[in-house]
Chain A
Amino acid sequence: MLKNYFKIAIAVLKRRKFFTFISLFGISFTLTVLIVLTAFIDKVVGDDYPDKKRDRSLYITSIEEIGKDSHSSSPPSYYFLNRYAASLKTPEKITLFSGFSGTNTYINNKKIAINYKYTDANYWEILEYKFLEGKPYTRQQIDNGERVAVISADMKKEYFGDVASVVGKYIEADNIKYKVSGVVKNLPITSYLLYSDIYLPFTVAKRDYKHKAYLGDCMAILLAPSKRDVSKMHTEYEQVVSKVPMENGQFTSIFSHASSYIEGYVDTGNEKSSGVTIALSVIGGFVFLFMLLPTLNLVNINITRIMERSSEIGVRKAFGASSRTLVYQFIVENIILTLLGGLIGIVLSLIALYLINNANLIPNLDLTINFTVLFCGLLVCLIFGLLSGVYPAWRMSKLNVVTALKAQ
């Protein structure tokens, strides 16, 4: 029976080439956009290089101080994190690091813009950066205030050119020469928590990084000994923060959370509006509106296709096909069509991703299709096929045999 359906479906699709084209175009295009979107989101928030221990890590990325008339939020300071986060009991390890900021260097009359970031020694233990050569700077070197740096592969290429090894050479940034201790694999700027061109020890910062203020330019990652301890770690930090004294009389409350990677990634810096909710509703709204039109379009075309075939349906009914078999037939037809469209869509997405990667819109952001993305695509296809097939099929089952036969 199924084989029979299949044969008929292919024949029908071949017969009405124009409608088939419209349907395929709609399905494959919609799927392409959704796959590119999923690939992007998946890469941006799902890529776990270099923080491979995400499942037992919590991120502290912001602090918010609220008073009657005042409100300020920013990443916390080194002072704040060192005092309140570093003293937590649950975490196995804690790292503090600054956000990235920019400076320049001039070499051979060429200007190079450099993003730099300060870290502690634990940074290299918690995060599993891939070292292409050399190694991270040690606790000892940090304590001694040695001018050492870990640089990214891109930075190496831009500053030193195509040379085999640069470990031990000096790189000048911000008018200071740093000895290169290691070279790591590049990160895209979308991993903005961890991205940088050169990584430096806190102790070589020109500014007084221990300045006593709550607001600053620092973030922390807390690593729990096991997954089970993550929630305990979260609670412990909440408790510590709730006991933090106000910085001055202007403020009445302080908020800071140790949150999962995704929560930290989309943090708005505002206690009242959750970044996750906003991100989800924006993406959800876009996907809904975006799918609504092609679905409506497909439903429209499907109804047209059915009405056009009303005499065929009439004949089938007259010769004993039940409404149910007809509905099945139509839905199978429609699912074949959607899957076909899905296949084209996947090919188109591969092309689109290739083009996007080649255009290098965001350096080092290599979008790929993985199983998550493919699964989403397949799911979308099925939803699509069902949504656009069910209503027309219902209309078809209501079709009166006599009028259907007379219509032609």
Chain B
Amino acid sequence: MYRHLFKLIWNKRKQNSLLMSEILVSFLVIFAVFTLLVYNYQNYRKPMGVDYENVWVINYDGDIGIKDNDSINIFYETLRRNIKSMPEVKEVVFSSNNIPFAPVTMQNGFDYNNKHISHVNSYTVEDSYKDVLNLKMAEGRWFNKTDAVTRYQPVIINRSLKEVMFGREGAVGKVYGEGADHNKKQVIGVVEDIKFKGDYAEAGYAHFVRADTASFRWLSRMMIKVTSGADATFEGRLYKLLAGQMKNSNIEIEHLANKRKNINYFALVPMIVLSIVSCFLIINVALGLFGVLWYNISRRRGEIGLRRAIGATGKSVSSQLVMEAMILTTFSLIIGTFFAIQFPLLNVFNLSAGIYLTALGLSVLFIYLLVMVCAFYPGKQAAAIYPAVALHEE
């Protein structure tokens, strides 16, 4: 039977070409939308990696107008002590300005064993970073005071970087880099992935460097972990303290939870707009398909009557028509899949093949379902055609 239907459709390919191209374009649109959704969903499912509740961010200008390194350190240590002495403050950390949920990126390359990995995010942070953000270690340990004097520069990498760099073997203790020992780096710990760009973005590769006394010249962010009772009154007090101490600097306090919300908008808004638009497109296409299939069936009343006369049941007629639509769809999908499969093959947009394949599977399923739904009613109408009437119409 399939061969028969296949032949029937193949012989009608010219008439069906428009319908097929419509299904093809719908498929490609759906594929694009599903790729985006699958990508975002896969990222969304992964843990955030940080606790953003009750963490406040302080933006300040790093250049405070002091030239001497020691004086800078004294200035910031005093500041830190004063902030920590407030009862609402649990912990304070200074960081480079690429804090979580900030639209700032600092990246460099990473070489180990002749393997080069680019786009590795680099974060300069202090020992208390782990406690402020409640990071989880996968292996090894976080920075502590003993890292101040070491043979190699200690670094911590995230799980994604570890997996691509060192595979299954342990990363802790590995040394990489070129030149003298103090230019080389040694991995002392692996931290679980952190989604720095919000819920819907990939964690990416990350490596953390310990801030030293010279870093204070250019660090421009503080993060503080506050108690759950910290309110706007306290924030006002904190602000006065900061503004009073850092006279040359503009200061802004933000809440990490709000920053997360804001950065999520950038992923959510395109998703929502695209989904709404494609929803309407699909309704449009579905109505069109429905109309054309319906008309095709009314045009084929004679054929349907004949099939009934020579022994087809009503059910087999309606399932035949649905099957025909499905085979037509299959032709379109084969062509569509050929285009879609180029994305993982050519590694467009640097997404993993799994995302494309999942999206591909979902779109194929979606299009089949759509066509089936559109063909179902006309098929049922066809089954109700009375052969005695249909055969004598012409």
Contacts and interface: CB of A to CB of B under 8 A. Distances in A.
- Is this pair of chains taken from one and the same complex? yes
Interface of A: 18-19, 21-22, 25-26, 29-30, 33, 101-104, 106, 109-111, 113, 116, 174-175, 206-208, 211, 289-290, 292-294, 296-301, 303-304, 307-308
Contact of B18 (A109, A211, A299): A299
A111 B237 CA distance: 12
Given A110-B232, A207-B61, A303-B18, A290 B277 contact: yes
A102 B243 CA distance: 14
Closest 3 CB pairs of A and B: A175-B243, A106-B236, A297-B288
B122 interface: no
Q: From A109, A290, A294, A300, name the one whose CB has the most chain B CB atoms within 10 angstroms.
A: A300
Nearest to B276: A33
Contacts of A110: 232
B26 to A, nearest CB: 6
Interface string B239-282: 11001100111111110000000000000000000000100110
Given A116-B250, A207-B249, A304-B291, 20 more contacts: A18-B291, A19-B291, A101-B250, A104-B235, A104-B251, A109-B232, A109-B236, A110-B232, A174-B243, A175-B240, A175-B251, A206-B249, A289-B25, A290-B281, A293-B26, A294-B281, A296-B22, A297-B22, A300-B288, A307-B295
A294 B284 contact: yes
A137 B21 CA distance: 63
Contacts, number: 108
Main secondary structure of the interface of A (DSSP, over half): helix
B246 to A, nearest CB: 9
Contacts of B240: 175
A293 B285 contact: yes
A347 to B, nearest CB: 16
B109 to A, nearest CB: 10
A25 B253 contact: no
B288 A174 contact: no
A33 B276 CA distance: 10
Interface string B284-313: 110110011001100100000000000000
Contacts of A116: 250
Contacts of B26: 293
Contacts of A208: 63, 65
A58 B260 CA distance: 36
Nearest to B299: A307
Nearest to A33: B277
A26 B287 CA distance: 9
A25 B291 CA distance: 13
A109 B63 CA distance: 30
B233 to A, nearest CB: 5
A141 to B, nearest CB: 20
Nearest to A298: B288
